[in-house]
Structure 1
Amino acid sequence: MARGNDLLERMRTLDVATTVGAADSALLAEWQRSGVKFAASTPQMEAQYYRAVRELLGCIRPAAGGAPILYEGGVYNGCWLESTGTINAELLARFMPDVAQRTFAAFAAHQRTDGCLPYKVTPEGPVFSQIQLVSPLARSVWTHYRLSGDRDFLGTMYKAMARYDEWLATWRNTRGTGGVEAFCTYDTGHDLSARFWHIPDSPQNNDPTRYNADNPLLPLVAPDLTANVACQRSYLALIAEELGEDGALWRGKAQASVDALFANCFDADDGFFYDLDRNGNFIRVQSDVLLRVLACEIGDDDFFAEALQRYLLNTRKFFARFPFTSIALDDPRYDAAFDYNSWSGPTNFLSLIRAPHAFEAHHRHVELSWVIHPILSALFRAPRFAQTLSPFTGDAGYTEQYSPSLLCLLDYIERLSGIMPRPDQTLWFTGLVPQQIEHRDAQHETAYSRVVDGVTFELANSASASTAWRDGQLLFAVPRGARIVTSRRGDIVSLIGMSVRDVEGVLTLPAGDIPFRIASNEQLDFNNGRFVSVRKPGIVPPST
């Protein structure tokens, strides 16, 4: 296996076009402009990475007579608002910003005159038969804007999202609770979930403004839909201010949504969010809803830590060997089948690509790595990029060439071992390597590159150290187990502890060595040539 400088040199000379072998030269050229390359001492890892790139490019196709946008992939021949047009495109924007922007813009372009956005855009055109909301569109748009800087695009999307907010308030608050109501299963994308037993899949007459009034449960005040709108409104406030408008109105609306969420959907004894049915009763199914709500940045650090301890990192609940299950493992309605489109048990890749928003908002970087390692292990050996995984074996489940799982591999490698541009105008250089969690232990090494503002950055990670270069010159060297945060120019901003153990050593810079010691999740800011601790939350260990 290649080691050290040999791995770095091999990455530098790697021909991405030949390795990927994609047919569409324009799409491949856009990928290459990112400067992203990955090399690994383990050939299977590297081969699977470029297979994911190749298959991802195959998910980019024209829709509704327009330019190519991202498709969900597999059996899903279109672009869904809950996923493809939000979190998927948000991740894609770090690699292919033009395609991502067209994907976001497709929903605004097909908005109805009454303000309703399509729940999907297909080759035949837009479809409006449900709302299907999960990841907040405004946050994805804002994140992309902060990386791309296209103000005209931001203004167009802002107008569309403001009109859609009004549509939701008009049609999805029939009970006057201030929450957002689900009229059917498909409104949340939780297909076949026990959460929606005895509730129809679609709205009445396939009309998103109507529900079956004869159903004994409908309409539901839905925690994930309500949290989506709360988060959406918070980011609409940021966008409004960026465009020179007052964001206070949006912040007030966001707080009203948060208040409605806790008043109607939160059980304080359980520490869990449930749907509230028309009779005022909770539908007590512990599901992926919790992670969805938390990924919408609901709750403070203590609230999230308790959710980790009681649920997300609890092996009786959602923390399976290959997390996260879509229904709690100890729920009798949990279904282990993973070979079809199900949200009643198996691990779904959409949950996995949404999860970082929840963990990183509360500085739980180490805990997130406990999710990343097993999922990468499963992906590196996967015969296809499926929608679902077995939570017990990591075996691939339903469908193939599914863009959320393709993007999960690319995103998780960049978060764990790569160079990640952030919306706050920083770069994350993370000094970890994929762990060998299955069968015999093995030591892996990685190399990663990315071009930022015309500058080529490179990062090499071994079992003991991480070293970075800027345009071929040493940028820093540091012991394994830290994340180095820099400006977009590469100036040191801070360190983050990425290991369960304390990491101690020196940060080597061209100007000299700086000693440090950093604990799990601790953040050390770099001020006047030395490090100062600004955050030290510790870790939340897995529970049983």
Structure 2
Amino acid sequence: MSVKNQTSVSFQTSDDLLQKLVDTAEEKSRENLKRFENRLVLIEGGGYEKIWLETQPMGGEMYAKRNLEAGINNQLLFMENQREDGRIPGSVACENGRITPQFNKFQGFCFPSAALNVYYLMGKDPGYLDLLYTTLERFDSYLWRVRDSDGDGCLETWCKYDTGEDHALRYGDAPNDWSEEVPPEGCSVVPMASMDIMSFSYASRETLAKISRIQKDIRREEIWKEKAACVQDKIRSYLWDDAAGACFDRDKNHRVLHTMTHNNLRAMYWNSFTQPMADRFVKEHLLNPKEFWTHMPLPSV
């Protein structure tokens, strides 16, 4: 794929302490640049040596202004290692010198908008855009083929690492990770109807509509907009509690899990909330000093 653009960031100040701080931060960030075989990537860092779907497409997009090669590879390694059935690896490692995609969780999905932004940073390569479209279309198809095991029209999370909620008590006795393409049996909570996994689909479909617009396929753009709206409508009708002004997941028996979580904020990142839903959650919960807006720290539940 051709890369037309070059990117760079520079910072100079007469404040010696601030300059040292920025220079040190830049130096530490460069330590997270690693070679996966012959591919330069930006790993998670802080002792985490992989790229996770949860963060590193977004991290790559952010770092692309400093190193475009790493920023692009942080998108491509997920796209190029997509399975035939459409599943995207939840993480990509380099083990014994070889790139190793891992499919034992989703972990998160900070991917569609980041990958599309990299398309612009790299100079609008049409081949990259085609690959992104195919990747998202196949992943969305996979989600609806596999992750609605009870057929209620709401996608499910099957393990704690699907949404990156390590040790989350609300998952009950759910496994940490899960590699099978059928849900675990005998658990008290999972398969769990999930605002996160539904939002994965919404974000995919919204981005597919944007790509279609870029490619001047208006009919296809409208189809994806309609498909995204269907997901949003299901989130609002099935997971949104209008009295509480928030979304709540449901357990395998369709019972509402009344745990107020920051996952509502994630849904806003994926744009799967309507504006009135987002306004209510921010006003009534995020800015509520008795819930999230505490002095220190910012709680997740």
What is the TM-score with the length of structure 1 in the denominator?
Answer: 0.51
Q: Deviations over 1:490-535 (max 9, x none)?
A: xxxxxxxxxxxxxxxxxxxxxxxxxxxxxxxxxxxxxxxxxxxxxx
* Alignment-derived partner of residue 173 in structure 1: 148
* Alignment-derived partner of residue 23 in structure 2: 50
Alignment of 1:164-203 (within 5 A): 164-203=139-178
* Alignment-derived partner of residue 60 in structure 2: 89
Instruction: Name the CA distance, whole Å, in 2 between partners of 1:278 and 1:229.
Output: 20
Check the 8 A contact 1:194/1:285 in 2, yes or no: no
The Cα of 1:322 is off from its aligned counterpart by 4.7
* Alignment-derived partner of residue 273 in structure 1: 247
Q: Deviations over 1:353-405 (max 9, x none)?
A: xxxxxxxxxxxxxxxxxxxxxxxxxxxxxxxxxxxxxxxxxxxxxxxxxxxxx
Q: Which amino acid aligns with 2:85?
A: D
Check the 8 A contact 1:180/1:226 in 2, yes or no: yes
Which runs of at least 4 in structure 1 moved beyond 6 Å after TM superposition?
none
1:106 and 2:77 correspond:
yes
Instruction: Name the CA distance, whole Å, in 2 between partners of 1:70 and 1:131.
Output: 19
Alignment RMSD: 1.9
The Cα of 1:192 is off from its aligned counterpart by 1.7
Report % sequence identity: 23
Secondary structure of the corresponding residue to residue 299 of structure 1: coil
Summarize the Cα distance change of 1:34–1:269 in structure 2 as closer, same or farther, 3 Å threshold.
same
Pick the structure with more strand per residue: 1
The Cα of 1:298 is off from its aligned counterpart by 3.1
Secondary structure of the corresponding residue to residue 277 of structure 1: coil
* Alignment-derived partner of residue 66 in structure 1: 38
Instruction: Name the CA distance, whole Å, in 2 between partners of 1:216 and 1:198.
Output: 6
Q: Which runs of 5+ in 1 are unaligned?
A: 1-31, 328-544
Q: Deviations over 1:63-108 (max 9, x none)?
A: 2x231111111221100011112x2122123332221111100111
Summarize the Cα distance change of 1:270–1:157 in structure 2 as closer, same or farther, 3 Å threshold.
same
Summarize the Cα distance change of 1:40–1:190 in structure 2 as closer, same or farther, 3 Å threshold.
farther
Pick the structure with more helix per residue: 2
1:264 and 2:234 correspond:
no
What is the TM-score with the length of structure 2 in the denominator?
Answer: 0.89
Q: Deviations over 1:214-246 (max 9, x none)?
A: 112221111122122212211111112323432
Check the 8 A contact 2:52/2:92 in 1, yes or no: yes
1:320 and 2:291 correspond:
no
Larger Cα Rg: Structure 1 or Structure 2?
Answer: 1
Summarize the Cα distance change of 1:288–1:44 in structure 2 as closer, same or farther, 3 Å threshold.
farther
Summarize the Cα distance change of 1:228–1:44 in structure 2 as closer, same or farther, 3 Å threshold.
farther
Instruction: Name the CA distance, whole Å, in 2 between partners of 1:294 and 1:54.
Output: 33
Instruction: Name the CA distance, whole Å, in 2 between partners of 1:77 and 1:106.
Output: 15
Instruction: Name the CA distance, whole Å, in 2 between partners of 1:160 and 1:296.
Output: 17
Instruction: Name the CA distance, whole Å, in 2 between partners of 1:106 and 1:235.
Output: 19
Summarize the Cα distance change of 1:40–1:152 in structure 2 as closer, same or farther, 3 Å threshold.
farther
The Cα of 1:190 is off from its aligned counterpart by 0.9
Secondary structure of the corresponding residue to residue 121 of structure 1: strand
* Alignment-derived partner of residue 150 in structure 1: 125
Secondary structure of the corresponding residue to residue 224 of structure 1: helix
Q: Which amino acid aligns with 1:200?
A: P
Q: Which runs of 5+ in 2 are unaligned?
A: 1-5
* Alignment-derived partner of residue 3 in structure 2: none
Q: Which amino acid aligns with 1:113?
A: E
Q: Deviations over 1:20-61 (max 9, x none)?
A: xxxxxxxxxxxx9514214363x4433222212111111111
Q: What number of residue pairs does the alignment pair up?
A: 289
